[in-house]
Amino acid sequence: MNLVDVIVRYSLMLIAIVLGGQPAHANDLKQLYELALTRDTVLQVAHFQRDATIEVRPQALAPLLPQLSASASATRERAGYESSQISSTQSAGCALSADAGTQRCYGTVRGLGLNLSQTLWSYQAFNQLKEANFQAAAAEATFRGAEQNLLLRVAQAYFGILSASDQLAANRSEREAFGTLLNQATVRQQTGVGPRSDVAQAQAFYDATEQSVIDAANALDDANLALTEIVGPRADRIAPLRDDIPLSSPEPASAEEWVAAARQENFDVRAAQLKVEAASRDVSAQRGRGLPTLLLTGSSSKLSQNEILGGNQTLDTVGVSFSWPILQGGAVASAVRQSRALYRQAEAAFDAALRDAERQTRASFRNIVSGVQRIAAARRAVASGRDAVEASRRSVEFGTGKEFDLLNAQNNYYVAIRAYNQARYDYLTNVLGLKLEAGRLTERDLIAIDDLLVEGG
């Protein structure tokens, strides 16, 4: 068995060890996403924020609906009367004053009342309702965007573990391969076949791999923590990606069509646009604070009191109430200026969201197209790197090649392996990212990637 075969076999063994040591199970990605739906704190924050924001609509609608209030009271009253004004039947509960010319009468007054009002016209209230409608719609769009973003974040965290695992396996295999070359160079130097410089060069390449193995192990721990942050504690192994993943260009094949979809369907863009509409309505609502309000009012009240205080009374009223706050110390004008500034801020935020969506969409589209080419090129680089290692090894064995050339060929081979592995994950991430920017990312897209995972028995 030649050196290249040993390296390849050892690499596969390391990958199996790093990924769990036992056969992996398919549907890992889908199961992790289902865990994230109930455990991800970012989505929970977005969920509760949506629930809180949509309550502004019934609160804004309330002033336009009938308002009914009830009141009850009990008071103790004292009234003074000239003695000649009070009959003997009314004198109960009354006491003569010192001059005997007046009497102080005491009594308890109990009152019950109902007040009903209905807004007939309020420019402020009507615009606040329209503003609340846009705010609720923006909150829903933001939440929908968070749901789609969770799909991408789970996939990115999953690919992060796979990428770190591949890096660690490749670095360990590389260290082992350079260790084998170091041993061979040492044997040749001891037998007088090879120079001491070959040993020094092999030792330098071997020593350089130690730090990369340590860094790769730390990166794998960080990647696992990143996934745990989303889905919480887990005991599942991570199924690796098949080597033969399908590669295809975006459909439709025009970047402009994807950009047009992003302008219309991207949830961040939609939420920003709805916030602009809400801010516009708020300007009108603040201006309405200084305009008249028209109410239809009705009331019914009943008083129970002593005869000397006026006796029992019942009063029913109905009418129209008109109010106009003419002067409020400049508060309305200030509120309008503030609202206009917030409107311009919302416009700027919408423009920024639109530009960002266009940039991300074009970048993802371009990276998918170039990713297909990069994967094919990386695959060829791995194959040619393997051939170069084998050719250099034979040259060294026959004494026609240099040890340094073999070491460089070995180093280039593992660089190509790492680049190939990463290119595959970048391609799949860009596929999901493009659909996210266009507002078209669904669970089906995650399941399609889940089907590309190695299925164990």
- Rank 66-75, 76-85, 193-202 by mean pLDDT and report only the highest: 66-75
Both 221 and 203 in one domain: the answer is yes
Which of the two residues, 408 and 99, has the higher pLDDT score? 408
- Does some domain include residue 390? yes
pLDDT in tens, 20-62: 434 344 458 888 999 999 999 999 999 999 999 999 999 999 9
Q: Which residues of 329-352 are buried (b: 16+ CB within 10 A; e: fewer)?
A: eeebeebbeebbebbeebbebbee
Q: Across all residues in the chain, what is the average pLDDT?
A: 86
Read off the pLDDT of residues 298-357 as tens digits, 9 standing for 90 and up.
999 998 876 666 678 888 899 999 999 988 889 999 999 999 999 999 999 999 999 999
Residues 370 and 250 in one domain: yes
Do residues 31 and 160 lie in contact, with contact meaning Cβ atoms separated by under 8 Å?
no
Domain at 257, CATH number: 1.20.1600.10
Q: In this structure, are 180 and 282 located in the same domain? A: yes
Residues 311 and 425 in one domain: no
Q: What's the pLDDT band for 366 if we cut at 50, 70, 90?
A: very high
Q: Residue 7, Cβ neighbours under 10 Å: how many?
A: 21
**230 and 91: one domain?**
no
Q: Is the peptide bond before 58 cis (omega within 30 degrees of 0)?
A: no
Q: What integer pLDDT is reported at residue 223 of this predicted model?
A: 94
Tokens found for residue 451: 């089907």
pTM of the model: 0.81
Instruction: Write down the pLDDT at residue 328.
Output: 86
pLDDT in tens, 326-338: 888 899 999 999 9
Is 194 domain-assigned? yes
Residues 269 and 256 in one domain: yes
Residue ranges making up the domain that contains 193: 3-61+124-289+330-450
Strands 94-96, 102-122: pairing is antiparallel
158 and 226 belong to one structural domain: yes
Does one domain contain both 108 and 234? no
**Do 122 and 62 touch, CB atoms closer than 8 A?**
no
Q: Is the pLDDT of residue 167 over 90?
A: yes
Is 67 a domain residue? no
Residue at a domain's end among 302, 323, 344: 323
With respect to residue 455, please indicate whether it lies within any of the assigned structural domains: no
pLDDT confidence tier of residue 8, bands split at 50, 70 and 90? very low
**Upper half-sphere CA count for residue 314 (Cβ side, 13 Å):** 0
Residues 101 and 182 in one domain: no
Q: Are 41 and 49 in contact (CB under 8 A)?
A: no
Domain count, the chain: 2
319 and 336 together in one domain: no
Judge if 109 and 24 occupy the same domain: no
392: pLDDT strictly greater than 60: yes
Side-chain-side CA neighbours of residue 442 (13 Å): 2
Q: 2: exposed, middle or buried (C-beta count within 10 Å: 0-12, 13-18, 19+)?
A: exposed
Do both 140 and 189 map to the same domain?
A: yes
Q: What is the pLDDT of residues 196-247, one digit of tens each?
A: 888 898 899 889 889 999 999 999 999 999 999 999 887 667 889 888 888 8
pLDDT tier at 78, thresholds 50, 70, 90? confident
**Residue after which a domain boundary falls, among 279, 302, 323:** 323
Residue 316 covered by a domain: yes
Residue 409 tokens read as: 């060929």
Residue type, 117: S
Partners of 447 in the β-ladder: none
Confidence band, pLDDT 50/70/90 cuts, at residue 401:
confident
